Amino acid sequence: MAGLFVVFEGIDGSGKSTQASRVAHQRGGLFVFEPGDTPMGVDLRHWILEAVTTPMTPATEALLLLADRSHHVHSVIEPALSSGRHVIGDRFYASTLAYQGYGRGVDLGELRAATLLAIGGCRPDLTILIDLSPEVANDRRARDQGDRIESANLEFHDRVRQGYLELARTEADWFVVDGAGSAPEVAADIDERLSQLPW
C-alpha cells in the first residue's frame, strides 16, 4: 500500500515548518521541504531565494521552483510513497500558485499547466493550510533581507495569504487551521484532522 502524502502550506512565519516536522517525527514519516531538498535543489534554492542581487522575472522564479519540484517528486517523494512510507511536506505545488501566481501575478492557468508537467500524478492526500496574517507572522520572525521572497513587502505577503485562502475554498482535500493560536493549540487542531486519515 502506498504511503500517505500530507503537505503543510502557509506564509513564512506561519509555523508550518514546525508542525510539518513534528508530524513527520510522530508519524514516522519522511519529512521533505521545498525548495532545496536534493543536491540539485540546493543549487536551485540559491538562485531562487538567496541570489537577490540577480534580477529575475516572476516567470523565471516560477520555472526554477517547478524544476526543483519536478526533480524532488521523481527522485524523493514518489519513491518514498511507492515504498509505503508516509511523506510529510513543507510546501508543494500550492506554494507556487500562491506566491508566484497570486503574489507575483504570473498567469494562474499557465502556472497550473506547468505544475501538471512538473508533478505528474503526484497529489497530496491532504493539504493543511496554517493561516496567519502577515503582520503577526512578521512579529514572530526576523525577516531575511537576503531572501528574495521573505524580503518582499507586506502587501505581497497579504496577496499570497489571500491566494492560499482562495485555493483552500476551491480545491479538494484542504484543511485550514488558525495559526494565531499557541503551538499546542495549532497542533491539537492538526492532529484531530490527521486522525481521520488511514495511517
- The pLDDT tens digits for 12-57 are 989 999 999 999 999 999 999 999 999 999 999 888 877 666 788 9
- What pLDDT was estimated at residue 149? 74
The predicted model gives 174-197 an average pLDDT of: 97
The predicted model gives 2-10 an average pLDDT of: 97
Segments making up each domain of the chain, as ranges: 5-194
48-57, 117-126, 148-157 — which is least confidently predicted?
Answer: 48-57
Residue 168 above 90 pLDDT? yes
The radius of gyration of the chain's CA atoms, rounded to the nearest angstrom, is 16
Give the relative orientation of helices 183-194 and 16-27 as an angle to the nearest 10 degrees.
50
The predicted model gives 116-140 an average pLDDT of: 94
Alpha-carbon torsion 146, 150, 153, 154, what sign?
negative
- What pLDDT was estimated at residue 140? 74
Q: Which three cell numbers stand for residue 69?
A: 519540484
Please, what is the Cα angle at 90 between 95 and 189, to 5 degrees? Answer: 100
Q: Taking the complete model, does pTM exceed 0.85, yes or no? A: yes
Exposed e or buried b per residue across 118-155, where buried means at least 16 C-beta atoms within 10 angstroms of its C-beta:
bbeebebbbbbbbbbbbeebbeeeeeeeeebbbebeee
Residue 73 above 70 pLDDT? yes
Residue 72 above 60 pLDDT? yes
Residue 104 above 90 pLDDT? yes
Q: Which residues pair with 28 in a beta bridge?
A: none
Q: Which fold has domain 5-194?
A: Rossmann fold (3.40.50)
- Of 175, 172, 169, 166, the C-alpha closest to 108 is 166
Q: Rounded to an integer, what distance in angstroms lies between the CA atom of residue 22 and that of residue 61? A: 29
- What pLDDT was estimated at residue 142? 58
pLDDT over 90, % of the chain? 83
Cβ–Cβ under 8 Å, residues 179 and 114 = no
Backbone angles phi, psi at 76, to 5 degrees: -125, -60
Residue with the three cell numbers 540559491: 46
pLDDT over 70, % of the chain? 94
- What pLDDT was estimated at residue 50? 72
59-68, 123-132, 135-144 — which is least confidently predicted?
Answer: 135-144
- What pLDDT was estimated at residue 127? 98
Q: Rounded to an integer, what distance in angstroms lies between the CA atom of residue 180 and that of residue 157? A: 16
The predicted model gives 121-129 an average pLDDT of: 98
Please, what is the Cα angle at 70 between 66 and 74, to 5 degrees? Answer: 165
Q: Rounded to an integer, what distance in angstroms lies between the CA atom of residue 97 and that of residue 189? A: 25
Q: Rounded to an integer, what distance in angstroms lies between the CA atom of residue 160 and that of residue 173? A: 19
